[in-house]
Amino acid sequence: MSQTHDDFAVEPVPGLPERPPEGEQILWQGRPNWWALTRESLNLYWVMGYFVLLFAWRFITLLDQVTLQTAFAASFPFVILGLIVSALLLIIGYVQARATMYTITNRRVAMRVGAALTVTLNLPFTRIARADLDLRRDGTGTIALDLQGKTPVSYLVCWPHVRPWHIKNTQPALRCIPDAKRIAGILAEAAEARISQPQIARSPGTAATAPGLAAE
């Protein structure tokens, strides 16, 4: 697994820092659904509900002191503020989604994430212990990748492209992707084929050794 960042580099393949080596094939590429990403990672509905609650609380507490019109006018700024904050969250969610590219190949999962600070995660299948699918009714879903051993993945740097609330053991995640069930199937088949495929490790100047795990 590696993390790379170069503001001035031009991607030879969208979402990848370099062209795939010989024998590696891209099976799927995609981005998060921006609306689902905003709704889930930025808690859009909770934020909107918070400002509605503020409006209702202010309105009710003023009713026994002033007229209905005055109470409404004094409470309405909370609605305006809520709309402004919600609009900002929508913009952030859209920008985050557009700056993201997820890639599944027959050897790894690559995640180009980050709008301000761009980070590319390369996750070989041999480093992925398991993948969990959180599927929504609209077909979008999140595939969280539980990595083997300790990894240098930063929760804050990779957010929101991580499994929520798994801070100590950060799990990179393909967040809010459309048609998530089908993508999970592609990932499962590719990972199973890669892990079960015999690998031959070679030492410099020697013949092939017995099958084993080859370095990615």
Helix (H, G, I), strand (E, B) or coil at 174: strand
**Cα-based angle 89, 92, 104 (whole degrees, multiple of 5):** 125
| Mean pLDDT within 15-26 | 86
* Between residues 153 and 11, the one the model is more confident about: 153
**pLDDT per residue as tens digits for the range 180-205:** 999 999 999 998 887 766 554 444 44
Query: Which letter does DSSP use for residue 112 in this model?
Result: E
**pLDDT per residue as tens digits for the range 68-78:** 889 999 999 99
Helix ranges (H only) for the chain are: 34-41, 44-63, 68-98, 155-158, 180-196
pLDDT at 212: 38
CATH of domain 27-196: 2.30.29.30
Give the span between the Cα atoms of 61 and 26, in whole angstroms. 60
Helix, strand, coil fractions of the chain, as percent rounded to 5: 40, 25, 35
pLDDT at 17: 80
Residue 35 has pLDDT above 70, yes or no: yes
Q: What is the mean pLDDT of the chain?
A: 84
Residue 216 has pLDDT above 50, yes or no: no
* Between residues 149 and 127, the one the model is more confident about: 127
Domain ranges of the chain: 27-196
Whether residue 160 is preceded by a cis peptide bond, meaning omega within 30 degrees of 0, is yes
**pLDDT per residue as tens digits for the range 66-109:** 888 899 999 999 999 999 999 999 999 999 999 999 999 999 99
Whole-prediction pTM: 0.79
**pLDDT per residue as tens digits for the range 37-50:** 999 999 999 999 99
Of 136, 137, 112, the residue nearest 122 (C-alpha): 112
Residue 12 has pLDDT above 80, yes or no: no
